[in-house]
Amino acid sequence: MTTLPLHFSPEVAAARAKARPIVALESTIITHGMPYPQNLDTAQRVENAVRDAGAIPATIAVLDGQLHVGLDEARLETLARAQNVAKLSRADLAVCLATGGTGATTVAATMIAAHAAGIAIFATGGIGGVHRGAEHSFDISADLQELAQTPVTVVCAGAKAILDLPKTLEVLETLGVPVIAYGQDSLPAFWSASSDLSAPLRLDDAQSIARAHIARAALGLPGGQLVANPIPAEAEIPAAEITPIIENATREAAAKGIKGKAVTPFLLDRIYTLTEGRSLDANIALVVNNARLAAKIAICLDKERQSGARR
């Protein structure tokens, strides 16, 4: 079997050499989730949030057929400015590497790369899930399957209401993925800190999340954990305001016949326009918040593993 060549940024290579805690970050949010230059600014702020919390950020992407774990400043900027970058999920990653392509990694593909690089914790904004109308379109993100099979803990702000949240929870339950709300009972809903759904599980501190990650592996269970961290109160857009906007965007997507991987980017772009950019401010605040929590979990995970090794 050939091993996958990974290209580490100098910062990530140094962190690996010293066994420092590392947090993986995805890149589809940069290329398909936000416009330039806010995407670059956000990516840098998210990386700095991880550093300020005492861990090392590793933004993951494929550039000219090379799988990068950690992007230096110039590469991050190139990616943020690039047009027509491929969106890579589990199905696309190998073809992109084989053909020398460039692509941004979704949650699923980022989990695969993080695991290959020995990184257990990953921060993002929102995951993919079961789309509204999935009973007709069958549009269910590969992110859910990935959470069921790849042992990475993903910190998100819950799922966007562009998805069918009850169906998304049902599929995650079927797949055996722990969905853990951080510090509250209600499932966070991305732009809104809470929803009318209760989260299946709740944990109140980073150490418990790290211990649960270890316990899952000790049980021999494949797959990761999904941590849903509520958006900070001052940045939230109440559900009553965002719901009609999401409904408009969803109707437009259907009327235009938008399908498959184009659905999520189309909806995000329309919601950005329809909220006159307010959705973006909220999005930035919540990703930074998730990066901080992910860094704390990564630090706890290292401590737990070290004390486990001493026992």
The CA distance from 98 to 204, in Å, is 43
Tell me: does residue 139 bind Mn ion (CB under 5 A). Answer: yes
Tell me: does residue 236 bind ligand PSU (CB under 6 A). Answer: no
Q: Which does 28 bind (CB under 5 to 8 A by kind): Mn ion, ligand PSU, none?
A: ligand PSU
Tell me: does residue 11 bind Mn ion (CB under 5 A). Answer: no
Minimum Å gap between C-beta 222 and ligand PSU is: 19
The CA distance from 113 to 247, in Å, is 34
> 3-state secondary structure string, 92-116?
CHHHHHHCCCCEEECHHHHHHHHHH
Closest CA to 255 of 240, 242, 270, 244: 270
Binding ligand PSU (rule: CB under 6 A), the pick from 39, 89, 250, 290 is 89
Q: Which does 230 bind (CB under 5 to 8 A by kind): ligand PSU, Mn ion, none?
A: none
Listed ranges 24-32, 70-78, 176-184, 238-246: which one lies at the site for ligand PSU (CB under 6 A): 24-32
The CA distance from 108 to 27, in Å, is 11
> 3-state secondary structure string, 30-50?
HHCCCCCCHHHHHHHHHHHHH
List the catalytic residue out of 11, 47, 87, 160: 160
Tell me: does residue 261 bind ligand PSU (CB under 6 A). Answer: yes
Tell me: does residue 289 bind ligand PSU (CB under 6 A). Answer: no
The CA distance from 63 to 223, in Å, is 27
Which residue number, 53 or 60, has a Cβ lying nearer to ligand PSU?
Answer: 60
Return the bridge partners of 8, or none: 69
Backbone φ, ψ for residue 277 (5° rounding): 90, -10
Has 256 been annotated as catalytic?
no
Listed ranges 4-12, 132-140, 226-234, 276-284: which one lies at the site for Mn ion (CB under 5 A): 132-140
Has 26 been annotated as catalytic?
yes
- Structure-block tokens of residue 27: 């890149």
Tell me: does residue 158 bind ligand PSU (CB under 6 A). Answer: no
Which residue number, 16 or 90, has a Cβ lying nearer to ligand PSU?
Answer: 90
3-state secondary structure of 162: coil
Backbone φ, ψ for residue 53 (5° rounding): -85, 0
Minimum Å gap between C-beta 28 and Mn ion is: 12
Active site residues: 26, 160
User: In the complex, which residues of this chain contact ligand PSU (CB under 6 A)?
Assistant: 26, 28-29, 33, 89, 106-107, 125-128, 141-143, 160, 261, 264, 268
User: In the complex, which residues of this chain contact Mn ion (CB under 5 A)?
Assistant: 139
